[in-house]
Amino acid sequence: MSAFVEFHEVGKTYRMGEVKIEALHDVSFEIEQGEICVIVGPSGAGKTTLLNILGGMDTLTTGHVLLDGKEISRYDKRQLTSYRRHEIGFVFQFYNLVQNLTALENVELASQICRDPLDAMEVLKRVGLEHRAANFPAQLSGGEQQRVAIARALAKNPKLLLCDEPTGALDYVTGKAILKLLQDTSRQTGMTVVIITHNQAITAMADRIISVKNGTVADMRKNEHATPVELIEW
């Protein structure tokens, strides 16, 4: 069985007028289904570009990207939209909740548009926020907002959950709670979760750790003994 996510010699070059900026080059890695994968690296290493490409938000310059056997690197704009819509759940660093919608409605915003959504309220219950369903984001704490964001991503029942610095804007305790939620979700539902972070400490919870440095993969290793989030300290 081939890997769930495959990157083959992926390169990405931005063109800024005359200047070419090579954001990624020769990136290759694989992620198995059901794994929690942490992509770690310092700022400017190319993590976000990688995430953009995997999330169907950006195209690559060279190489191939496959998800569940489908080559998304060959998708056109419309196919990419459909890909984001049906295959991917996205969790942002700053939650990106629609301020004008309640927690439940934010979840519904996602479940509205996909083929086989989970019940919004159910998902909200799963992230432990059923009592906050009618609240607007401004009325929620950061952790709660991020949990709503996760619920929004999960409600689409995606194949892949992408998280961009999910704890970046959160304090330690809340951050841990969020990571726990992600780990639990993966373990309970077999969801493949990709977390992007600059925090090395988080790697402990991962099944697979990919280190990115200067636009390429510096190291990829499997972690057979993923630590439960509660035991991680940073």
Partner 1 sequence: MLRRSAFREIRSSLGRYIAIIAIIALGVGFFAGLRVTKTDMVKTTDTYVREHGLFDYRLLSTVGYDADDVAALAALDGVHAAEGSFSVDFLTQTANGNDLVLRAHSITDVTNTLSLAAGRLPEKDNECVVDARYYSADAIGSTIGVSELNDEDTRDLFRYDEYEVVGLVNAVYYLNYERGSTALGTGSVFAFVYMPYGGFDVDYFTDISLLLSESGYIYSRAYEDAVDAMEESVTDAAELRAEIRFHKLTEDAEKEIADAESELADGWEEYESERAKAEQELADAKQELEDGEAEIAENEQKLADAKAELADAEAELADGWASYEEGLAEYQSQRADAEKELSDAEEQLLELRRQVNDGFVQLQGTDLDAAEAELNAAKAELANAQSLYRTISGAVSSGDLSEAELAALGALLAEAGYLPGGIQNITMQELSQILQQMSMDLKRAQSELDAAEKQLNEAKAQEAELYRAQAEVDRGFVQLQEARREAEQRFADAEDELAAAYAELMDGEAEIADAARELADGEAELADARQELADGWREYEDAKAEADEKLSDAYQELRDGEAELADARRELADLEEPDVYVLDRSTNVGYVCFESDSDIIEAVSRVFPAFFFFVAALVCITTMTRMVDEQRTQIGVLKALGYTNIAIMSKFMIYSGSASLIGCILGFIGGSIIFPKVLWSVYDIMYGFADIILVFDNGLAVVMIAAFLFCALGATWFACRNELADVPAELMRPKSPKSGKRVLLERIPLLWNRMKFLHKVSIRNIFRYKKRLVMMILGISGCTALLITGFGIRDSIKNVADYQFNEISLYDYTVTLSEGAEEETAERLREAGEGTIADLLFVHESSIDLVGPEETKSVNLVVSDGNLDAFLDLHYNGQQIAYPGPGEVAICDALAERLGIAVGDMVTLRTSDMKSLEVRVSAIFQNYVFYYVYVNAETCEAQWGYVPEYKTGYVTLADGEDVHSSAAKVMDADGVTAVSIAEDLRDRVANMMSSLDYIVLLIVCCAAMLALIVLYNLTNINITERIREIATIKVLGFTANETASYVFRENILLTAMGALVGIVLGKLLHMYVMNQIRIDMISFDIRIAPLSMLLSLGLTFVFTLGVNLLMRIKLDKVNMAESLKSIE
The amino acid at residue 78 is R
Cβ burial of 167 (10 Å; 0-12, 13-18, 19+) is: buried
Q: What kind and span of H or E run contains 233?
A: none
Question: Measured from the CB of residue 73, what is the shortest distance to partner 1 in angstroms?
Answer: 17
Among the listed residues 12, 132, 152, 176, the single contact to partner 1 using CB under 8 A: 152
The answer to whether residue 82 forms part of the interface with partner 1 (CB under 8 A) is yes
Nearer to partner 1, 139 or 214 (CB): 139
Question: Of 26, 32, 58, 184, which lies in the binding site for partner 1, with binding defined by CB under 8 A?
Answer: 58
User: Which two tokens mark 57?
Assistant: 């938000």
Site string for partner 1, 87-106 (x = CB under 8 A): -x-x-xxx-x-xxxxx--x-
Q: Is the dihedral of CA 75, 22, 32, 202 positive or negative?
A: negative
Options 122, 131, 139, 234; binder of partner 1; rule CB under 8 A? 139
Q: According to CB under 8 A, which residues from 107 to 136 bind partner 1?
A: 108-110, 112-114, 136
List of residues 6+ apart from 114 with CB closer than 8 A: 85, 86, 156, 157
| Contact indicator for 45, 61 with CB cutoff of 8 Å | no
Decide: is 81 part of the binding site for partner 1 (CB under 8 A).
yes
Query: Closest separation between CB of residue 182 and partner 1, Å?
Result: 18
The alpha carbon of residue 114 and the mean position of all alpha carbons in its chain are separated, in whole angstroms, by 18
Is 55 a residue that touches partner 1 (CB under 8 A)? yes
d(CA 109, CA 104) in angstroms, rounded, equals 9
Contact positions toward partner 1, by CB under 8 A? Answer: 48, 52, 55, 57-58, 78, 81-86, 88, 90, 92-94, 96, 98-102, 105, 108-110, 112-114, 136-139, 152, 156, 164, 169
